[in-house]
Each structure stands twice: as structure tokens, then as C-alpha cells.
Amino acid sequence: MDKIQQRFTKRELIITIGAACAALAVAFRIFLLLHMEGNLYTMGIFPLAILLGLYCLWKKTLFLQEVFFSVWVRMLLAVVFTALQVIGMWWSNPGMEACISWGEICLWIVCFTPLTFAGQNALFAWTKKVYCPAKRSVSCQDINGVDGQEHRQGRIVRWFRRFGRMRQEFSAGKGFLGAFAVIMVGFMIPFATYYPAIMAYDVIPQLDQIKISGYTTHHPLVHTLLLSLCLKIGEILPLVSNADRAGLAVYSLLQMAVMAGSFAYVYVFLRKRHVNRYLCYFYVLCVAFYPTHGMLAVSITKDSIYAVLVMMFTVWVYDAVTEGKERVLSAGWLTAYTVITVLLLLFRNNSIYAWVLFVLVYGAAARRSRSYRKMMCVHALALILYLVFNVGLINLAGATSATYAREMLSVPTQQIARVVAYHGEELTEEEYDKIGAVWGEDNLPEYVPAIADRSKRDISNDPEELRNLASLWVDLGRRYPGEYVKAFMLKSKGMWYLEDTSYLFDVYSYTKGYLQITYPSDQQEYIEALAPGYYRHQKLQLLQAVYRFFAAGDAVWRYIPFLAVVMQPAFYCFLLLYYALVCIGLKRYQCLVPVIYLTALAGTLLLGPCVLVRYMYPIMLAITVLTLADSRPATEPSKA
């Protein structure tokens, strides 16, 4: 007791015990409710969060005064985060939603906020110690036993340095080739397991364009043409029994090489930034052997190549804003940046919106850079080249435009569909007439909370239909603003709720799971017509079973707290926010520039039809690299 009193003042002790007891009481109530619903998944992550919060309370982080931001700013952040997680849990459990009122939910938020606030303070304090080692006299100086930790890390580093290879100077060329080789070896495992490729979702209509209906711009035309080229290469390969399977294998190998090369370049970039070498080795091993990366590397979808392009673009922008201020960027560097930018725009139809916003912000933020004029000229050139290549590919392939207005109406249609589903008896005859004019006579929009594709699929580009839709959306929004907010929140829940599972089960009935690697069984005949003789390699059943634990709806990682967090799309949205806050707190404003494109990209996902891992994959890769690139304190001496 005397030791506790030495750590806490009487006031601090009373507040700490009160906060802990309130959080434990609410947690016990939630455990009972979840147990009644048999929700083991949430009960796997939730206790971990409670324990971490209680630990931070014990370490007195609740009372830190100045850590980057004022108390009120940090309190606001804690309240918002806690509210999102509590409301997400409430809406994700039907039994809980039915018996718990808004008043009790507000009480839960109040009780859990101190734990969140303490944990947030601890995270900020740890970050400040890492980046500002000279300022360790701040109020958080004795957290985590930094001196002892540094001593232990020193012994570990000395132990590793006994190996001669660890003392060798880093060679960019050898480092790239070594990382590329390791990653390709890792990618070969899912390639052999799912030979010739994983075919799901978008590849089916793309094959239809290639074989039957003709090219359109609904999917990025450059990707469809690349797939077509690989199928043609399969036709001319010697000693091939099935040209389509060979062509799909060629595409898989090409995509694997592109992704492996991009990851290997990032490895070299991190080493040149003097990031801890063992952390860089761990990065390469994760990329090579963690199932998510390998499975997406052999999935025939535009999202995989686009993801590594976003990652590479982010690396180049980070290099420009951190190094370009001090040195003039070379012609080779600018050329590579231009090529990556053009490919980035070509591989995602809506990426132009996020990129234009990025260019505007860069133009305002990087005026003092020595390479400012060159970069702005490069941006103008990249835009021109994108337009020229895009129009040229359309004319060359004879592609037709398939950009429908409904693709930009995910949020409005989802909001209207929710009102119709839950308040249909309250609508007027005039409103039903407008619904019929948009969705067809005697038809109603189908409402599925996690996806807007079904609520917007019957909408065309007819101007009169769109006017009726706009009028209906405004009228219903005035009467049911709460339903509009909830419809938007439920559609995007995977981006803000850390324990969300809706994207695993409720999006497409035939493609359940983390990566949606299957297609409808009744489309097998259709796929056979598009790619005669196609079938997945069925000999490595054990490996397929292992991969199903990560990709299928019954993914085992959901029951492992740490994996369940880091594999969630929402984790990377909060990591993006955390990175931006740290840059602001440390006044490294130039490092915010790469975040602009990622934030704008996240905004397009919020307005999109649903949250899927393959949509979030570009942000997951890019923000991870940014976090690693800034993981070494600027005040520490650099070592190769």
C-alpha cells in the first residue's frame, strides 16, 4: 500500500480505481450479453483491449499533461474512438441492439473513455520517446523502463553482430535481388496451391469482354488488355495442353514478379532510410510467407497491381518531400515517378480524383522545395500522358464506355433503401411513384447493410430517373436523417470498427471470406466457356486447407486477438490517422503530403459500394511502409 501511495497521489488513486471499476463493471455486462449471443470473436479482442487499458491506468498515463496535444484534443480523440467501437459492437450484435438503449450506450462510452484516453496517452508518450530521445525528462520518463529496454536491445544487437554477414555494408543491388528472390519463393507456394490462378469476382466479366462481348471501360482497360495479352501468350507457348490455363499462369507469374519487385524496392528504400535491418528482414519475410500477400499475388484482379502502385507512389512522394527539399531530384528519379503516376491512374478508374486533390495540396505545401517546379511539371506531364494513353487504349481496343451514374450513387441509394426497408408503411403514394420511376414498377430497392450494389443495380443513366432519385433522396433525408446516418455508417463499418465481420459474411453470398477467392458454383459452366478446361490445382489439399483459414469465412485468425486486429481494414484507417497525428505533433508537416493521396483514396472507399480487403489493400501496404520509414528517430546517428 505504501508503494502504491508513492506512485499515486490520493486524488490520482481515487480516479484510477473509479475508472477501472466502472470499465470492469460495463465489461462484465457486455460479456454476459455477448455470451448470450455466442459471440466468441468479439470476446477474443475485447478482453485484450480492456487489459491494455487497465495496464495503462496502472502506469499513470491517464494523468499525462502534454503529449503532442492538449488534454482536450486528446480527450476528444479518445471519446470519438470509444464511441465508434462501442456503437460498432452495439450494431453488430442484434440481441444487444434490441435490449440496449441509447442512454446505456452513452454510459458505456463514458466508462470506457478513461481506458482509451490512458492507452492513447501511453502510445503518444512512447512515440515521443522514440522520436525525441533528448527529451526523456517529460512526465512519461519512467514508462516501460526505457533505460533497461535500451540495455537489453544493445545486448541483442551485439549478439547479432557476431555474425560476419550482419557487419557487411548494405548493397542496394544485392539487397534488391535477395529480397526479390525470397518473396518470389514465398509467392510460389500459393501459385502451386492454386495453379494456374485464383479466379473470382472481377475476372469473370473481364474474360467475357475478352472472349465474347467486347471491351468496355467498366474495369480498367489496361488491366483487361494485359490479361488478354497473357492469354494470347498462352496460345503460342509450345508443349501446352491448355492455352487458357497457360495464359492464366503467365498472368499470375507476371503479377507475382511485379509485386515482388515492388516489395523488394521498398525493402531497399527502408534500408537506405536506415530503418532497423532486422525489422526490414521481418518485413520481407511477412510479405513472402504471410498468406494474404501471396494469395492476392496469384489472384487475377486489378486490385493487386494497383495496391503496389499506390505503395510505390507513396514511397516516391515521401522521398520527394523529405529529400527533395535539400537536393535536386535527378532526371531518372523524375522519369520513374512519372511512369508510376501514369500507371497508378490507368489501373483504377476513380484514382484520378484522389490524385488531383493530392497535386493541389502538394502545389500549396511544397513551394520551398528545390525541385518544386520540376515536380509540378512532372505532374502536368503525367496527367497529359494518362489522358493520351487512356484515349489511345480505348480507340485501339474499340472499347465502349461503361461508366454508369449508379457507380457514384452508393451512399444515396443505400440510404433510400434503408428508409424503404424500415419505414415503408410511412411513405406517401407520391414517394412510391418516384421509387417506381427509378427502380421499376412494383420494384423496391433491396437493402443489405454492408453493400450498396443490390440497392443501385437497377438504376440507369436516364436523366429523368436521376432527377426522381435526387428529389426522393432529399425528401426522405429531411424526414429520416438518423436512418441516413446509420445507413452510411453500416455500409462503411469495416473502416471504423475494429471488430467488424460484416465484410466477411454479408457482402456477396458466393464469395464469403477475407479475400473472396471463390465464385458462384452455378457459373462453372460459364467459366468453362470463357476459359475452356480451367480448373484449380487440386493436388495440394493440405495447403489449400491452410489458406482457407485465412481467406474463407471461418478464418481462424479471427480468434487470435493480435491477428484479428492487424488483419482488420479498420486498423489501417486508424494507423493512417495516428501517423498523421504524429506528424502534426512532431511538426513534420512535410511528411503529411504522402498521406493526402491515401486519405483521398479512403474517402472514395467511404463513398463506394462496400468495404473489402482487396479495396483496402493499397492503403494497408502504403501506410505500413510510411510507418516503417519513419520508425527511426531523426536524432539518432545513421548506420548503413
Residue 27 CA from chain centroid, whole number: 29
Q: What is the mean pLDDT of residues 251-261?
A: 96
Per-residue confidence (pLDDT) for residue 525, from 0 to 100: 64
Cβ atoms of 459 and 438 within 8 Å: the answer is: yes
* Claim to verify: residue 391 and residue 250 sit in the same structural domain: yes
| Residue 601 counted as domain residue | no
Q: Where are the alpha helices (DSSP H) in 273-301?
A: 277-289, 291-297
Which one of 129-133, 218-222, 593-597 scores highest in mean pLDDT? 593-597
More confident residue, 262 or 41: 262
Residues 6+ apart with CB under 8 A from 364: none
Per-residue confidence (pLDDT) for residue 637, from 0 to 100: 41
* Claim to verify: residue 307 and residue 434 sit in the same structural domain: no
Sequential DSSP letters for 446-482: --BTTBSHHHHTT--S-HHHHHHHHHHHHHHHHH-HH
Residue 524: pLDDT band by 50, 70, 90 thresholds? low
**SS3 of residue 120 by DSSP:** helix
Q: What is the mean pLDDT of residues 147-174?
A: 55
Picking from 545, 548, 540, the residue whose alpha carbon sits closest to that of residue 513 is 548
* Claim to verify: residue 359 and residue 439 sit in the same structural domain: no
| Residue 463 counted as domain residue | yes
* Claim to verify: residue 367 and residue 414 sit in the same structural domain: no
Does the structure show a pLDDT above 60 at 157? no
* Claim to verify: residue 358 and residue 410 sit in the same structural domain: no
Does the structure show a pLDDT above 50 at 64? yes
* Claim to verify: residue 215 and residue 295 sit in the same structural domain: yes
Residue 633 CA from chain centroid, whole number: 26
Does the structure show a pLDDT above 70 at 446? yes
> What gap in Å lies between CA 525 and CA 409, rounded to an integer?
33
| Residue 335 counted as domain residue | yes
Q: What is the mean pLDDT of residues 88-114?
A: 92
> What gap in Å lies between CA 132 and CA 299, rounded to an integer?
43
SS (H, E, C) 325-338: CCCCCCHHHHHHHH
Q: What is the mean pLDDT of residues 254-276?
A: 94
| Residue 480 counted as domain residue | yes
Q: What is the mean pLDDT of residues 33-46?
A: 73
| Burial letters 382-408, b for 16+ CB under 10 A, else e | bbebbeebbeebbeebebeeeeeebbe
Which domain covers residue 434, as residue numbers? 405-491
Cβ atoms of 333 and 281 within 8 Å: the answer is: no
Picking from 74, 67, 62, the residue whose alpha carbon sits closest to that of residue 138 is 67
Last residue in a domain, options 116, 136, 156:
136
Residues 6+ apart with CB under 8 A from 111: 22, 23, 25, 26
Per-residue confidence (pLDDT) for residue 93, from 0 to 100: 86
624 grid coordinates: 505500413
Does the structure show a pLDDT above 50 at 143? no
Per-residue confidence (pLDDT) for residue 152, from 0 to 100: 46
Residue 574: pLDDT band by 50, 70, 90 thresholds? very high
**SS3 of residue 69 by DSSP:** strand
Per-residue confidence (pLDDT) for residue 599, from 0 to 100: 94
Query: 3-state SS of the chain: helix, strand, coil percent to 5?
Result: 75, 0, 25
Least confidently predicted of 77-91, 157-171, 445-459, 479-493: 157-171
* Claim to verify: residue 127 and residue 257 sit in the same structural domain: no
26 grid coordinates: 460495463
* Claim to verify: residue 173 and residue 83 sit in the same structural domain: no
Least confidently predicted of 110-119, 173-182, 197-206, 431-440: 197-206
Dihedral sign for Cα atoms in the order 451, 455, 461, 466: negative
More confident residue, 260 or 127: 260
The per-residue pLDDT of the chain, averaged, comes to 83
% of residues, the chain, pLDDT over 90? 43
> What gap in Å lies between CA 588 and CA 329, rounded to an integer?
21
Per-residue confidence (pLDDT) for residue 610, from 0 to 100: 85
Sequential DSSP letters for 551-612: HSTT-GGGGSHHHHHHTSHHHHHHHHHHHHHHHHHTT-GGGGHHHHHHHHHHHHHHTSSB--
Least confidently predicted of 127-136, 151-160, 516-525: 151-160
Cα atoms found within 13 Å of the Cα of residue 578, Cβ hemisphere only:
22
Residue with cell 473502416: 495
Residues 6+ apart with CB under 8 A from 538: none
Q: What is the mean pLDDT of residues 397-424?
A: 83
List 213's β-bridge partners, or say none: none
Does the structure show a pLDDT above 90 at 230? yes
Q: Where are the alpha helices (DSSP H) in 93-142?
A: 94-99, 102-131
* Claim to verify: residue 198 and residue 72 sit in the same structural domain: no
Residue 549: pLDDT band by 50, 70, 90 thresholds? confident
| Residue 386 counted as domain residue | yes
Per-residue confidence (pLDDT) for residue 620, from 0 to 100: 95
Last residue in a domain, options 491, 506, 537:
491
Q: What is the pLDDT of residues 273-289, one digit of tens each?
A: 888 889 999 999 999 99
Residue 215: pLDDT band by 50, 70, 90 thresholds? confident
* Claim to verify: residue 363 and residue 458 sit in the same structural domain: no
Burial class of 352 by CB neighbour count within 10 A (0 to 12, 13 to 18, 19+)? middle
% of residues, the chain, pLDDT over 70? 84
Cβ atoms of 226 and 248 within 8 Å: the answer is: no
Per-residue confidence (pLDDT) for residue 132, from 0 to 100: 65
More confident residue, 594 or 157: 594
Q: What is the mean pLDDT of residues 114-141?
A: 73
Per-residue confidence (pLDDT) for residue 563, from 0 to 100: 80
SS (H, E, C) 8-57: CCHHHHHHHHHHHHHHHHHHHHHHHHHHHHCCHHHHHHHHHHHHHHHHHH
Q: What is the pLDDT of residues 320-377, one digit of tens each?
A: 888 766 667 788 889 999 999 999 999 998 889 999 999 998 888 777 777 778 889 9
* Claim to verify: residue 380 and residue 485 sit in the same structural domain: no
With a threshold of 0.95, does the pTM exceed it?
no
H or E stretch at 77: helix 71-92
Does the structure show a pLDDT above 60 at 166? no
List 610's β-bridge partners, or say none: 451
> What gap in Å lies between CA 64 and CA 56, rounded to an integer?
11
Least confidently predicted of 231-240, 404-413, 429-438: 404-413
Cβ atoms of 355 and 596 within 8 Å: the answer is: no
| Residue 526 counted as domain residue | no
* Claim to verify: residue 125 and residue 267 sit in the same structural domain: no
Residues 6+ apart with CB under 8 A from 256: 184, 187, 188, 191, 297, 298
Residue 639: pLDDT band by 50, 70, 90 thresholds? very low
Does the structure show a pLDDT above 70 at 229? yes
More confident residue, 266 or 244: 266
Per-residue confidence (pLDDT) for residue 153, from 0 to 100: 47
- Work out how many domains the chain is built from and give that number: 3
Q: What is the mean pLDDT of residues 38-52?
A: 76
Does the structure show a pLDDT above 70 at 494? yes
369 grid coordinates: 522545395
> What gap in Å lies between CA 203 and CA 219, rounded to an integer?
10
Last residue in a domain, options 491, 515, 534:
491
| Residue 570 counted as domain residue | no
| Residue 576 counted as domain residue | no
Cβ atoms of 381 and 198 within 8 Å: the answer is: no
